[in-house]
Amino acid sequence: MEIARRNLVRWFSGRRLVRAEADDTRIFRGAERRHFEELSGRLESLVRRGKYLLFAFEGGRGLMGHLGMTGKFVRRTEGQVEPHSRARFHLDDGHVIHFSDPRMFGRMEPAPAPLLRTLDPVGLLGRDPLADGLTAGQLAEAVGSSRQPLKVALMDQERLAGLGNIHAAEALFRAGLHPSREPGSLTPAEWKRLVQAIRATIDFGLKEQEGEEPVYLEEGRSENPFLVYGRAGGPCSQCGTPVESFTQGGRTTHFCPKCQPRSGVHASKPRAGKR
DNA sequence: ACCGCTGTTCTCCG
DNA sequence: TCGGAGAACAGCGG
């Protein structure tokens, strides 16, 4: 999301939005497409809160965006077709920015710019490690009270905003913490390791993804850039032990049983990894 | 060709 | 309240 924000800022810089138009799809949820199509002029600010983007256009019109699982913003030239394009910003430099999203889990919801930050669920988001900074104490306070498994708690956007399935797994691997740890059982030293691991994971992701296109999904890119995510059955990048996977909160969790030892975890059943 | 995955979140139950 | 299951949807790889 942060990479998407940076790309959009660059693409809009010094340009004007001359026409916004969109197909009538569920990406608008409750909001009205015609308000999207009323957007125009300069992009005055683009703020990211967790996985949400808040656009403020000249004239006070705004937009809340979310990429869902498969949404992305791509820049094309006028007339070029983009598969699964759902909404489009036509700029005065001959470029068109498409919001492309095959599964339509993403969202584009126009709203008056001054109201964007107060919108549910944006108003419910927890601290954003990148935008707000995050100390070990703040992390412990936000996540330590959860009775969910640690990884599930890390992904709870009301506790901490921005971590998804990949980054949560990666951060836990870097911190050497088992995903099923009870948040209340972490020591101050472990919170410190975790906060540093979250920072490292975000930094790595930003470096990895910089450029115009979403790298991991980019065509031709088949290499897995992550330390444990998607490596079930393969060797741990650190110790060679086979990476395992299991389901937590409806999502697949990948971890190394040796680097992320179980201590004080509640019962769960790792299965040998596939792939 | 079919099956079972998938970078998310919301709603509906018990 | 909380937590798990299912749903919303389409594509891709085994």
Return the domain boundaries, chain A.
Answer: 2-123, 129-255
Strand partners, A43: A57
b/e per residue A149-175 (b: at least 16 CB within 10 A): bbbbbbbbbebbbbbebbbbbbbbbbb
pLDDT at A94: 98
Nearest residue (CA) to C1' of C8: A105
Q: Of chain A residues 48-67, which have a beta carbon within 7 Å of strand B?
A: 50-51, 66-67
CA–CA separation, A42 and A110 (whole Å):
16
CA–CA separation, A25 and A15 (whole Å):
27
Task: State pLDDT tens for residues A130-174.
Answer: 999 999 999 999 999 999 999 999 999 999 999 999 999 999 999
Q: In angstroms, how far is B10 C1' from A122 CA?
A: 14
CA–CA separation, A241 and A262 (whole Å):
15
The low-confidence residues of chain A, meaning pLDDT below 70, are 211-222, 264-275
CA–CA separation, A126 and A141 (whole Å):
11
A189 phi and psi angles, rounded to 5 deg: -65, -35
Q: Could you tell me which CATH number the domain at A2-123 has?
A: 3.20.190.10
pLDDT at A212: 63
pLDDT at A265: 64
pLDDT at A223: 83
A261 phi and psi angles, rounded to 5 deg: -65, 150
CA–CA separation, A273 and A57 (whole Å):
47
Residue A189 carries which DSSP code?
A: H
Closest among A59, A43, A58, A60 to A5, alpha carbons compared? A43
CB proximity A217–strand B (7 Å threshold):
yes
Q: In angstroms, how far is B2 C1' from A274 CA?
A: 19
Q: In angstroms, how far is C4 C1' from A153 CA?
A: 15
pLDDT at A95: 98
Q: At what angle do helices A2-12 and A188-209 cross, to 10 degrees?
A: 40
For residue A24, what are the contacts with CB-CB under 8 A and spacing of at least 6? A33
Q: What is this structure's pTM?
A: 0.94
Q: Which bases of strand B sit closer than 7 A to a protein CB?
A: 5-10
For residue A125, what are the contacts with CB-CB under 8 A and spacing of at least 6? A49, A50, A52, A157, A158, A161
Instruction: Check the CA dihedral A86-A87-A92-A93 and report its sign.
Output: negative
A81 phi and psi angles, rounded to 5 deg: -90, 145
A129-255, which class in CATH?
mainly alpha
Q: In angstroms, how far is B3 C1' from A13 CA?
A: 46
